Amino acid sequence: MPALIEIQNFEKSFGTKKVHEDINLDIRQGECLGLIGGSGTGKSVLLRSLIGLERPDRGQILVDGIDITKLTEKELIPVRKRVAYAFQGGALFDSMTVFENLAYPLRAHTDLTPRQISEKVMKLLSDFGLAGNDKLLPASLSGGMQKRVGLARAMILNPDVILYDEPTAGLDPFNTTKIQDMILRLKQMGKTGILVTHDMPVAFKVCDRIAMLENGRIGVVDTVETILKNQDHPIMHFAHGEVA
């Protein structure tokens, strides 16, 4: 499979703290790549950089051959329509209802009529098991529901790539399974995914490959199949809590 996203010689620091040094990683079309690592290794920073929410100090991020690190906020708009970001806490607009949150990208980027927008939002809410919640404000939703609404909002423009930032963090097993099934369904639809997570069972279930960040670099990247076959694999040690 060809690489859809290429990260080349990526470096990022915050003040004197160097978070990433010389990161090189390819994300292939249609695959789901897991990105794991201890807390503070910069998984979310790397994920945010893939849609220009963070700028690297050095290096390139090629999305379909276009280096997005050189683009302005305005030039990034087409990239952000293709690459969606599902935030850890949902990042729903708290002054808007669930319906308005989902309608927001459609109103901003499409010429759909209010009726068409309504139909599309209602269908997506139903697909994500959120029917009947359209008039609620985010504050009145549970954490799991907020994450699902956030995922639905990320999906509404039908992106090619979805970046999941710890989608199951803090959820009960029931909601974790729901989110996991949604990611699997999106993968079956041919969507490319990058999953930042600490939840190793979910990573093993939904990912094709897993990359581990260590000391600011990609320490190891391997297919899930290979990892699961080898109990001595560094990622298995991480999964069993034997390394930080």
Using CB under 8 A as the criterion, which residues of the chain lie in contact with another protein when the complex forms? 48, 51-53, 73, 76-78, 80-81, 84-85, 87-89, 91-94, 104-105, 108-109, 153-154, 157
Task: State the nearest-atom distance from the C-beta of 165 to another protein, in Å.
Answer: 9
Task: State the nearest-atom distance from the C-beta of 30 to another protein, in Å.
Answer: 22
Instruction: Return the number of the residue (109 or 205) whose C-beta is nearest another protein.
Output: 109
Kindly state the tokens that stand for 191: 């969507």
Are residues 76 and 51 in contact, defined by beta-carbon separation less than 8 angstroms? Answer: yes
Task: State the nearest-atom distance from the C-beta of 243 to another protein, in Å.
Answer: 28
Instruction: Return the number of the residue (150 or 216) whose C-beta is nearest another protein.
Output: 150
Instruction: Return the number of the residue (12 or 209) whose C-beta is nearest another protein.
Output: 12
Task: State the nearest-atom distance from the C-beta of 124 to another protein, in Å.
Answer: 15
Task: State the nearest-atom distance from the C-beta of 48 to another protein, in Å.
Answer: 8
Instruction: Return the number of the residue (186 or 218) whose C-beta is nearest another protein.
Output: 186
Instruction: Return the number of the residue (78 or 132) whose C-beta is nearest another protein.
Output: 78
Q: What are phi and psi of 13, to 5 degrees?
A: -125, 155
